[in-house]
Chain A
Amino acid sequence: RKEVEQDPGPFNVPEGATVAFNCTYSNSASQSFFWYRQDCRKEPKLLMSVYSSGNEDGRFTAQLNRASQYISLLIRDSKLSDSATYLCVVGLGNYQLIWGAGTKLIIKP
Chain B
Amino acid sequence: EAQVTQNPRYLITVTGKKLTVTCSQNMNHEYMSWYRQDPGLGLRQIYYSMNVEVTDKGDVPEGYKVSRKEKRNFPLILESPSPNQTSLYFCASSPQGAVGYTFGSGTRLTVV
Chain A contact residues, CB within 8 Å of chain B: 2, 4, 8, 32, 41-46, 87, 91, 94-102
B98 close to A45 (CB less than 8 A): no
List residues of chain A with CB within 8 A of the CB of B40.
8, 101
Q: Beyond the given A44-B43, A96-B98, could you list 9 further A-B residue pairs with CB under 8 A, ordered by the A residue number?
A: A41-B106, A42-B106, A43-B90, A43-B104, A44-B103, A46-B100, A87-B42, A95-B50, A99-B43
- Report the bound CA distance from A20 to B104 in whole Å: 28
Of the candidates A45, A94, A101, which one forms a contact with B41 in the assembled complex, judged by CB atoms under 8 Å apart?
A: A101
List residues of chain A with CB within 8 A of the CB of B73.
none
- Report the bound CA distance from A87 to B43 in whole Å: 9
The count of residues in chain B whose C-beta lies closer than 8 Å to any C-beta of chain A is: 23
List residues of chain B with CB within 8 A of the CB of A41.
88, 106, 108
Of the candidates B96, B99, B101, which one forms a contact with A32 in the assembled complex, judged by CB atoms under 8 Å apart?
A: B99
- Report the bound CA distance from A53 to B26 in whole Å: 35
Main secondary structure of the interface of A (DSSP, over half): loop
User: Which residues 65-89 of B have a CB within 8 angstroms of A?
Assistant: 88
B105 at the A interface (CB under 8 A): yes
List residues of chain A with CB within 8 A of the CB of B88.
41
- Report the bound CA distance from A13 to B88 in whole Å: 28
- Report the bound CA distance from A96 to B98 in whole Å: 6
A94 close to B96 (CB less than 8 A): yes
A2 to B, closest residue via Cβ: B42
List residues of chain A with CB within 8 A of the CB of B48.
95
Q: How far is the CB of A103 from chain B (nearest CB, A)?
A: 12
